[in-house]
Structure formats: structure tokens, C-alpha cells
Amino acid sequence: MTMRRQPAIWHNVNGVLLAMSLTLPVAARAEPYELHPQDRLMIRVLTWDFQANNPTAWQGLSGEYTISPEGELQLPLAGSLQAVGLTQSQLRAEIANLLRLRAGLDDAPQLSVELVASLPVYVLGDVTNQGAVAYRPGLTARQAMSLAGGLFRGPAARGPAQMIALTGELAAAEQALRSLQIEESRIQSELAELSGQVGSDASPDDTTQTQLQTADRTARQVRIDSYDSLRVMLEEKALRLNKQLELRDQQIASTREELAGMTSLNERGLAVNARVTSLETALTDLETKRLELETALLLLDTQLNQATRDSDTITADAIAERLRRLTELEAAIPAARIRAETARQQLRAELAFNVETDEPARAQPGFHVTRAGMTQPVDPDAPLRPGDTLDIAIPRDPPSDNAPD
């Protein structure tokens, strides 16, 4: 079915789109940009809204699209078309014509094609920041080098302050590693001592660690001695309670014997009831006091057992604490060793670069581009393509026999 013809005002949209395209930044205007695989495009298809009397985006077609690695672009209704090698204006015309044919329009719809992003350019070699830089149409090798931070200058460009900072980082990393190793040695010595083994002395060049080890040993011994004194006191108290318990048992036995005799006399009318009642009361009081002694003795035995357990756990807790810290050190020491070695290698590389290069700022770098698996030299102002790998190298003179070690 043939769709409704567009009003005359619709033709003004062409002028709007053209004015918009003229305001976009254009790279050197030397050659139009030809699309590449994996370019991301924003495509807007416009249709006329008769009610609002304004152009609106054609829903279902407008949006971002990515060209496939094979160079194809898939669009709803328009289908698949080869986009690589076309300019944006050529692709716009191709899409408009396909939509006109597929949708049965009298006139081709108005649309815009904008480049959103392309594959980056990968910069390697003698630059300050190796890695990917964003591509834009017209990007040259020299501009990519600038985006990567420019040429790497080494210590000569860093200045004395930066070299002092690198030296300080190395010293700090090595000191941190030594501290961890000293602590590891101390903990291993303490573990050997706590386990009843003959432990090695702490590091002789670290008196602070040795003092800490001695102070910890003294504090631990004070706690053990305190528990030992408590146990002695509790044992003496338990001995006294046992003696009191024996005395109560004797008193109870004597009172029971006397009560039995007095009860027999009372039954024959030879004793009064008051005497019997008095003996029964005394027996009850003695049994109550004996029960209190048994309760106190049981509580004392519980305290004694707790003191013994607390004394035994002092050493066990000390061993567990050191084992936990030793486990942490086993992970921290390799990381500290890597940091120190990294700082050492960085400083060594900086110094080597300073020796090998003679005023690198004056050397003219060489540019090589790898594209489609092939590497070739290029001019600094040569335009790059998305996905190119740019290798920048500062020429170096071969080492002479008089070069310093």
C-alpha cells in the first residue's frame, strides 16, 4: 500500500539535517571518513507527525547500531547491507533508498547517520602511557602519541625530585619487608618457646623486638604465677573446709547417739520431753551447717578447676594468637617482597634508560603501524584507522665499549 505523501514543509527537514551536519567537527575535511568494522553509529529516521506538525523519530528504526566484524549493518525493515568502505552520506542514501522500497514510500525518508565510536588505536613503545587511545576520524600518528602522554623521557625529564621519590619508595618498601621478616622470626622463636622447645634468639639487630618479646614473656609469667597463687589459696581453703566438715560429722554422730539414748529414757518415763526436743533442734542445726559446708566446698572446687583451666589457656591462647599472626605474615611477606622488587626494578630501569639514551628529547621517534597483521613504517602525520597498533620507538645508538656499567 502506498503511504501518504509528505507535505511541503517536510522538505525543510533536509535543510535542518544539513545545517546540523555542518556544525559537527570535521577532521581536516581532506577526505570523508569511510566506515570500518565495529564502528558504532547513531541512526535517526525521521517521519512527519501531522498532529504535532513536527518531525519525529521513526520508532523501531532510530537507535544505535554496530557494524559487524564482517562489515555488515543490520537494520529493521531495511535488512542487511554492506557498510564498510562507505562514507556516512553514502550509507545514509543507501538506507533511505532501502526503506523507501521496503515501506512503499513515494519519497525516501529523511535520516541522519552519526559516528558514535570506533575501535581505539593501541599505542606502544617509548610513550609515557602505553595503551588504547580513543579514535576519531583524521587521527594521525603524531596526535595518537600526544594522547598517550608524549614521548617517555626517563629520569632526565623527571628531575631530581622524582628520582629522590623513587629512591624513597624503594627504601620504604625494603624497610617494610625487613620489619615483616623480623616479626616473623620473633613469632617463630616465641612459638618454639611456648611449645617447650629450644627457640632461637630474636634478631640481634632489632632490640625493640627483643624487648617486646621479653615484656610479653614477663606479663604471661605474672598471670601464670597469679593463677598459681590463687590455686594454693583455694586448696588451703578447701583443706580447712574439709576439716570443718569432719568436725560437723563427729558432732552430728555424737548428737544422734545422745538423742537416741534420751529418746529411750523418755519412753520409759525417765527423761523429760524438753531435753529430747533440745537435742533434735541441735541435730537439725548441725546437719544444716554441714550442708552449707558441702555447698561451699563444691563452689570452691569449681573455682579451683576454673583457675586451673585459665592458667592452662594462657599458653594455649598465646600460641593461637601467634599462629594467626604468622598466617597473616605468610601472605604479607611475599607481597612486600614483590613491592620491593618492583620498586628496585623500576629504579634500575630508570637509571639504565638515563645511561643508554643521550638526550632523548632531541631524538626523532620512528612510527610503525600494524594493520591486518602487517607492520610498516608510517609518516608522523599519516592518518590512522580504528584498531591500528602504533609502535613508537626512540632511536638509540648501539652501546660502545666505553659505556658505563
* Spatial CA neighbour of 35 closest among 96, 101, 81, 75: 81
* Spatial CA neighbour of 145 closest among 382, 397, 372: 382
The H-assigned helical ranges of 8-107 are 12-23, 88-103
**The predicted structure's pLDDT at residue 49:** 67
Examine residue 56 and state whether it is found in any structural domain, yes or no: yes
Residues 125 and 187 reside in one and the same domain: no
Q: Which residues pair with 369 in a beta bridge?
A: 376, 390
Residues 45 and 141 reside in one and the same domain: no
Radius of gyration of the chain (CA): 47
Residues 48 and 148 reside in one and the same domain: no
Examine residue 2 and state whether it is found in any structural domain, yes or no: no
Examine residue 405 and state whether it is found in any structural domain, yes or no: no
Examine residue 3 and state whether it is found in any structural domain, yes or no: no
The residue with cell 564482517 is 70
Examine residue 344 and state whether it is found in any structural domain, yes or no: yes
Quote the CA–CA distance of 134 and 40 in Å, as a whole number.
13
**The predicted structure's pLDDT at residue 18:** 36
pLDDT band at 299 (very low <50, low <70, confident <90, very high): confident
Segment 150-178, tens digit of pLDDT: 887 655 555 566 667 777 787 888 888 88
23 pLDDT above the threshold of 50: no
Largest CA distance in the chain: 145
Helical packing angle, 207-267 and 273-356, nearest 10° = 170
Triad 149, 154, 159: Cα angle to 5°? 100
Average of pLDDT values for 95-105? 83
pLDDT band at 398 (very low <50, low <70, confident <90, very high): low
Quote the CA–CA distance of 332 and 176 in Å, as a whole number.
10
- Contact between 180 and 329 under an 8 Å Cβ cutoff? The reply is yes
Amino acid at 70: E
pLDDT band at 403 (very low <50, low <70, confident <90, very high): very low
**The predicted structure's pLDDT at residue 272:** 67
Residues 112 and 144 reside in one and the same domain: no
Residues 260 and 329 reside in one and the same domain: yes
**The predicted structure's pLDDT at residue 194:** 72
Residues 130 and 197 reside in one and the same domain: no
Give SS3 for 178. helix
Q: Which domain holds residue 206?
A: 163-356
Give how many domains the chain has, as a whole number.
3
**The predicted structure's pLDDT at residue 213:** 59
| CATH number reported for the structural domain that contains residue 14 in this entry | 3.30.1950.10
**The predicted structure's pLDDT at residue 4:** 42
Quote the CA–CA distance of 275 and 263 in Å, as a whole number.
9
Segment 46-79, tens digit of pLDDT: 776 667 777 777 777 888 899 999 999 988 887 8
Residues 197 and 312 reside in one and the same domain: yes
Give the pairing type, strands 63-66 and 131-133: unpaired
Residues 29 and 132 reside in one and the same domain: no
- Contact between 400 and 358 under an 8 Å Cβ cutoff? The reply is no
- The DSSP letter of residue 133 is E
Phi-psi region of 3 (alpha: psi -120 to 50; beta: other; left: phi over 0): beta
Residues 217 and 364 reside in one and the same domain: no
* Spatial CA neighbour of 205 closest among 187, 179, 235: 179
Q: At 392, phi and psi to the nearest 5?
A: -115, 125
- Contact between 108 and 14 under an 8 Å Cβ cutoff? The reply is no
Instruction: Identify the top-confidence range among 185-194, 199-208, 344-353.
Output: 185-194
Q: Which residues of 8-17 are buried (b: 16+ CB within 10 A; e: fewer)?
A: eebeebeeeb
Greater model confidence, 40 or 335: 40
111 burial via Cβ count (<10 Å: 0-12, 13-18, 19+): buried
358 burial via Cβ count (<10 Å: 0-12, 13-18, 19+): exposed
Examine residue 239 and state whether it is found in any structural domain, yes or no: yes
Examine residue 101 and state whether it is found in any structural domain, yes or no: yes
Residues 250 and 207 reside in one and the same domain: yes
Residues 70 and 187 reside in one and the same domain: no
Amino acid at 122: Y
**The predicted structure's pLDDT at residue 2:** 39
- Mean pLDDT (the chain) is 75
Examine residue 402 and state whether it is found in any structural domain, yes or no: no
Residues 221 and 105 reside in one and the same domain: no
Quote the CA–CA distance of 239 and 235 in Å, as a whole number.
6
